[in-house]
Structure 1
Amino acid sequence: MKEAKFAVIDVETTGGGIKGNKITEICIIVLQDGKELNRFTSLVNPGREIPLYIEKLTGINDRMVEDAPYFDEIAPQILELTRDCIFVAHNVGFDYNVVRAEFKEAGIDFNRKRLCTVRLAKKLIPGLFSYSLGNLCTSINIPHYDRHRAQGDTEATVILFQRCLDLDPDYEVIEEFLNRKSKESYFPPHFKAQDFENLPHKPGVYFFKDKNGKPLYIGKAIDIQKRVLSHFREKSNRKYELLQNTHSIDYELTGSELLALLREAELILKYYPKYNKAQKNPSKPYKLTSYHNKQGIEQFALHKNKIAPVSWMQFYTREEAIQFMEHLCEEFELCPKYCGLQQGVATCNHYKIHTCSGACSGDLSVADYNLRVSKALDYIHQYEQSCLLVEKGRETGEKSFIYLKQGRFSGYGFIDDAADFNHHEDFEHYLIPQKSSAYADRIVRRYLATEKHIVRLPLTSVEQHTQNIFENWFVD
């Protein structure tokens, strides 16, 4: 391993994450056995304007790079200089991916083993307050001149790397980090490997947190550890920025995917994390209504913005609404024309629904058809009943339950697997009340449309014995 060559590299860029980011300056110092063999430094014309905030940070402006070579002009020299080298950088994920993207744009495939001095320093020099290059250099007395310029940052990284080599004379840690199968090669720079190993392979919600413990992103997973690792491997600019700011990852077990979905929805609304997009711009729901047309037929309709005197259900995408109405037509032999699935036709001729018994063609009386609609409405009313949904628990010997009050998510809890739900006191003391939301309502609707293992309690019993609990927890 002492014969290995290391190319310590730093790039300055136009900013904007990884994708679409262009190099404005690059410095490479090649080391072998801790000693410098070669170096290369150059400004690079990015082929675009340098943003003002980048100019203020690096001091590099458009005039300075006007006559500098484009990356494809120096690409062969960089390729040859780094051949058979291990790519070393402080926060290597950034520099490596930006350099690789530039090579790809130049039509050259660039692949090197890589090593991150942030992770190396955290392993070999633990306990420091910060591992940013500037703060780290201050902490361990490394001279750091021309900060945010490629040569100054590379020279400081070289000294840091040489310190790490002194602390790892047999290259044991370095060889461990160079193992391409190691998950650590994907970890965020501030994240501890042990914290990842502590993540469970179970359903639940997880929290990416900043250095102050504030949630930056909240997600749900059937397998928390596997899902978190998939985030580490994503290359989008937004995900890169999230991982750069992540210092820890916490989790909460739920036992089931359904409860994980509901907890995720609730927690996003509670913390409003910076990197979550879902629920921040909720759309108006589609409302399922009904009315008697001129022929006396009770007809269903879907409205998004209109105020209707009767609203049976609501959906949050048109696709979801259409799927439910198609199911309703097939289940109760209703007419697609009178269920909002076809318009402007004398008699229905739906591409999928072939169970219409002829209300639209006069083959079925109005009274008989309306009787079918009545049965369909009874079916819809089941969605509005108070009930318990029983799911798996967080561990063996436990089960979870989700309380729906008039069809809306209103609480959850965990209870012994042997317990029954015949009376309110069987679950009342285990209930953790929750406020519902449009997003949670949508999750429940989808679940009720597909799942069957539901334990129902009488409506009056449930409402009577839980009303006091909710009044104590929530104030309108």
Structure 2
Amino acid sequence: MRYAIVDIETTGAHAKGHGITEIAVVITDGTTELERWETLVDPGLNIPLHITHLTGITNDMVHSAPTFDAIADELEEVLSGCVFVAHNVGFDYAFIRGHYEAIGRVWSSPKLCTVRMARKLLPGHASYSLGRICEDLGIINDARHRAMGDCAATVKLFHHMLATNRAADVVSGMLKRGERESWLPQHVPTSDFEALPSAPGVYRFLNKKGTPIYIGMSHNVRHRVRTHFNGSMKSARRQAFLRDIYCIKAESCGSVLMARLIEDELIRIHWPIHNRAQKSIPIRTAIVSYTDQRGFKRLHLQRQRHSKHAIRWFRREDDARAWLHAQAVLHKLQPELLGLGSDGRSQSIGEDRRTAHNKAMHTIIDAAQTRETWAIVDRGRTPEERAIVLMENEQVKGWCYTDATVKRFDEISELIELKNGSATADAIVQHALYERELGKISFDIIEPTA
């Protein structure tokens, strides 16, 4: 088998918006160097001063160098038929693939990461950066942060690892189609992924300190986590995101509804840096009351994301209008005073009707604001377990998991763990009720007996 050990120098830390300034490739059969190839590259961009201080590559040095387009054919020929190997392979691979894409070409290769190999074959080191691991092993690098210097050091490291007892099995496993080492972030052990449930749940990406940097949910946690690591690594944010992940934790929640509620709660506790904002809260139709200049109590429809000042709110405007029409008919009130506008036949209400009108309006408002409690009974995390969500009108008051058989509403209060609640949690339940109406999900609803 032939391996292409690759190292590149660049104008910045991510492939999107930055260019390659130098490429070095060493072809090896795993024990002996077969070929070396290197070139400076004109990135078409100014090289930042701090990059020049790090690598020693100046703008003058690359001024007359070929562009990537000019060396693309030769580089592809050098890499052809080889396994692409690099220290933190995702970085070098993303840059080279991105540069081919920029000139309208598709390039791909099987790849190995010497960071992951070292963690498997050379355990116990404090750091697996190229400089530190080479220092530990006595590998000399006379040109650090230049492409061929780092490339040659990586070759020696690679040869050293291939000479260990388990090397053949480790390399074979990493090269298998879909092998997780090829797409998992470099610091994440495969055992973390193996432990993920293929069921509804919540997952957390943790940094080196064990702090959640991203929290998500899915109806299939394992599949969703896998999708985070698909595709390109071009953007700086994505590269930083993957580089910061050291551990993946997850928990089954039993149902999508519970996964969404627990995700919302965990995000509000930890506010992870890569959850840019809390989940978007849907805009709903609220019914609010006010008193006009003539002293008449009136209702008004308005679209808002919260239930503040609302006597009732509805997911759909049509439902809100239907409720108002029903109140107008029931209490013999003019529709336009309930926020429904005029059909052209109504006449202005006289001052002598104000007291009766306002009395009827207070009756409507009091009834709308009556605190109605009810509960959702959903699937639990095991066949025997049930999840219970306690609601007060349209607001989430709390939830719990229980193995107890719950048949009556009055059995719930002692089981429920009260929560702080949020507008997002309320919207999650309303969306679940809508999905239940459509037959997409199922759960039971328990109400107090009269």
The interval holding the TM-score normalised by the smaller chain is 0.7 to 0.9
Correspondence list, 1:195-206, <5 A: 195-206=192-203
Question: For the residues of structure 1 that align with 2:92 and 2:80, how far apart are their CA atoms?
Answer: 17
Taking structure 1 as reference, are residues 381 and 201 closer, same or farther at Cα in structure 2, changes over 3 Å only? Answer: farther
Taking structure 1 as reference, are residues 360 and 65 closer, same or farther at Cα in structure 2, changes over 3 Å only? Answer: same
User: How far is the alpha carbon of 1:377 from its aligned partner?
Assistant: 7.3
Taking structure 1 as reference, are residues 305 and 227 closer, same or farther at Cα in structure 2, changes over 3 Å only? Answer: closer
Question: For the residues of structure 2 that align with 1:177 and 1:146, how far apart are their CA atoms?
Answer: 29
Question: For the residues of structure 2 that align with 1:339 and 1:126, how far apart are their CA atoms?
Answer: 76
Correspondence list, 1:144-223, <5 A: 144-167=141-164, 171-223=168-220
Q: Does 1:312 align with 2:297?
A: no
Choose from 414, 420, 424 the match for 1:435.
Answer: 420
Taking structure 1 as reference, are residues 410 and 21 closer, same or farther at Cα in structure 2, changes over 3 Å only? Answer: farther
User: How far is the alpha carbon of 1:137 from its aligned partner?
Assistant: 2.1
Taking structure 1 as reference, are residues 387 and 28 closer, same or farther at Cα in structure 2, changes over 3 Å only? Answer: same
User: 1:20-48 deviations in whole A, cap 9, x for unaligned?
Assistant: 33212211111124211111222211111
In the superposition, the TM-score normalised over structure 2's length comes to 0.82
Residue in structure 2 matched with residue 362 of structure 1 by the alignment: 345
Q: Does 1:250 align with 2:249?
A: yes
Taking structure 1 as reference, are residues 82 and 129 closer, same or farther at Cα in structure 2, changes over 3 Å only? Answer: same
Correspondence list, 1:264-283, <5 A: 264-279=263-278
Which AA in structure 2 matches 1:34?
T
Percent identity, aligned pairs only, is: 33
* Contact 1:14–1:51, Cα closer than 8 Å, also in 2: yes
**Secondary structure of 2:261's aligned partner:** helix
**Secondary structure of 1:400's aligned partner:** strand
Unaligned runs of 5+ in 2: 329-334, 438-443
Which AA in structure 2 matches 1:434?
K
Residue in structure 2 matched with residue 389 of structure 1 by the alignment: 376
Residue in structure 2 matched with residue 132 of structure 1 by the alignment: 129
* Contact 2:121–2:167, Cα closer than 8 Å, also in 1: no
Q: CA RMSD in A?
A: 3.9
Q: Does 1:328 align with 2:320?
A: yes
User: How far is the alpha carbon of 1:362 from its aligned partner?
Assistant: 2.9
Of the structure 1 ranges 45-54 and 192-201, higher mean CA displacement relative to structure 2 is found in 45-54
User: 1:176-211 deviations in whole A, cap 9, x for unaligned?
Assistant: 211123233211111111221111112221110111
Taking structure 1 as reference, are residues 101 and 454 closer, same or farther at Cα in structure 2, changes over 3 Å only? Answer: same
Question: For the residues of structure 2 that align with 1:171 and 1:361, how far apart are their CA atoms?
Answer: 85
Taking structure 1 as reference, are residues 435 and 62 closer, same or farther at Cα in structure 2, changes over 3 Å only? Answer: farther
Residue in structure 2 matched with residue 351 of structure 1 by the alignment: none
Question: For the residues of structure 2 that align with 1:378 and 1:324, how far apart are their CA atoms?
Answer: 22
Question: For the residues of structure 2 that align with 1:279 and 1:285, how far apart are their CA atoms?
Answer: 17
User: 1:100-136 deviations in whole A, cap 9, x for unaligned?
Assistant: 1111222332121111112222222233333222232
* Contact 1:300–1:338, Cα closer than 8 Å, also in 2: no
Taking structure 1 as reference, are residues 254 and 338 closer, same or farther at Cα in structure 2, changes over 3 Å only? Answer: farther
Taking structure 1 as reference, are residues 418 and 160 closer, same or farther at Cα in structure 2, changes over 3 Å only? Answer: same
* Contact 2:121–2:166, Cα closer than 8 Å, also in 1: no
Correspondence list, 1:449-468, <5 A: 449-451=434-436, 453-457=444-448
Which AA in structure 1 matches 2:320?
L
* Contact 2:374–2:391, Cα closer than 8 Å, also in 1: yes
Structure with larger RCO (C-alpha < 8 A, sep 6+):
2
Question: For the residues of structure 1 that align with 2:264 and 2:305, how far apart are their CA atoms?
Answer: 24
* Contact 2:306–2:423, Cα closer than 8 Å, also in 1: no
* Contact 1:18–1:240, Cα closer than 8 Å, also in 2: no
Residue in structure 2 matched with residue 472 of structure 1 by the alignment: none
Choose from 77, 80, 103 the match for 1:83.
Answer: 80
Q: Does 1:66 align with 2:63?
A: yes
Question: For the residues of structure 2 that align with 1:207 and 1:455, how far apart are their CA atoms?
Answer: 32
Question: For the residues of structure 2 that align with 1:107 and 1:305, how far apart are their CA atoms?
Answer: 44
* Contact 2:324–2:338, Cα closer than 8 Å, also in 1: no
Residue in structure 2 matched with residue 355 of structure 1 by the alignment: none
Q: Does 1:446 align with 2:443?
A: no
**Secondary structure of 1:7's aligned partner:** strand
Question: For the residues of structure 2 that align with 1:181 and 1:139, how far apart are their CA atoms?
Answer: 32
**Secondary structure of 1:194's aligned partner:** helix
Taking structure 1 as reference, are residues 375 and 110 closer, same or farther at Cα in structure 2, changes over 3 Å only? Answer: farther
Taking structure 1 as reference, are residues 428 and 64 closer, same or farther at Cα in structure 2, changes over 3 Å only? Answer: farther
Taking structure 1 as reference, are residues 92 and 376 closer, same or farther at Cα in structure 2, changes over 3 Å only? Answer: farther
**Secondary structure of 2:391's aligned partner:** strand
Residue in structure 1 matched with residue 394 of structure 2 by the alignment: 407
Q: Does 1:224 align with 2:221?
A: yes
* Contact 2:285–2:317, Cα closer than 8 Å, also in 1: no
* Contact 1:25–1:44, Cα closer than 8 Å, also in 2: yes
* Contact 1:332–1:376, Cα closer than 8 Å, also in 2: no
* Contact 2:207–2:213, Cα closer than 8 Å, also in 1: yes
Of the structure 1 ranges 257-266 and 414-423, higher mean CA displacement relative to structure 2 is found in 414-423
Q: Does 1:34 align with 2:17?
A: no
User: 1:198-247 deviations in whole A, cap 9, x for unaligned?
Assistant: 11112221110111111111111111111111111143522332121111
Question: For the residues of structure 2 that align with 1:375 and 1:235, how far apart are their CA atoms?
Answer: 60
Q: Does 1:416 align with 2:408?
A: no
Taking structure 1 as reference, are residues 56 and 267 closer, same or farther at Cα in structure 2, changes over 3 Å only? Answer: farther
* Contact 1:328–1:376, Cα closer than 8 Å, also in 2: no
User: 1:366-417 deviations in whole A, cap 9, x for unaligned?
Assistant: 99xx9x99999799658x6333221110111000112234532232211115
User: 1:408-460 deviations in whole A, cap 9, x for unaligned?
Assistant: 2232211115233432xx3344333321223223323333455463223479x
Residue in structure 2 matched with residue 301 of structure 1 by the alignment: 301
Taking structure 1 as reference, are residues 77 and 377 closer, same or farther at Cα in structure 2, changes over 3 Å only? Answer: farther
Matched residue count: 428
User: How far is the alpha carbon of 1:284 from its aligned partner?
Assistant: 9.9
* Contact 1:289–1:311, Cα closer than 8 Å, also in 2: yes
Choose from 92, 101, 104 the match for 1:104.
Answer: 101
User: 1:141-196 deviations in whole A, cap 9, x for unaligned?
Assistant: 33234333222221121111111211257733212211123233211111111221
Of the structure 1 ranges 402-411 and 180-189, higher mean CA displacement relative to structure 2 is found in 402-411
Which AA in structure 2 matches 1:328?
A
Taking structure 1 as reference, are residues 332 and 282 closer, same or farther at Cα in structure 2, changes over 3 Å only? Answer: closer
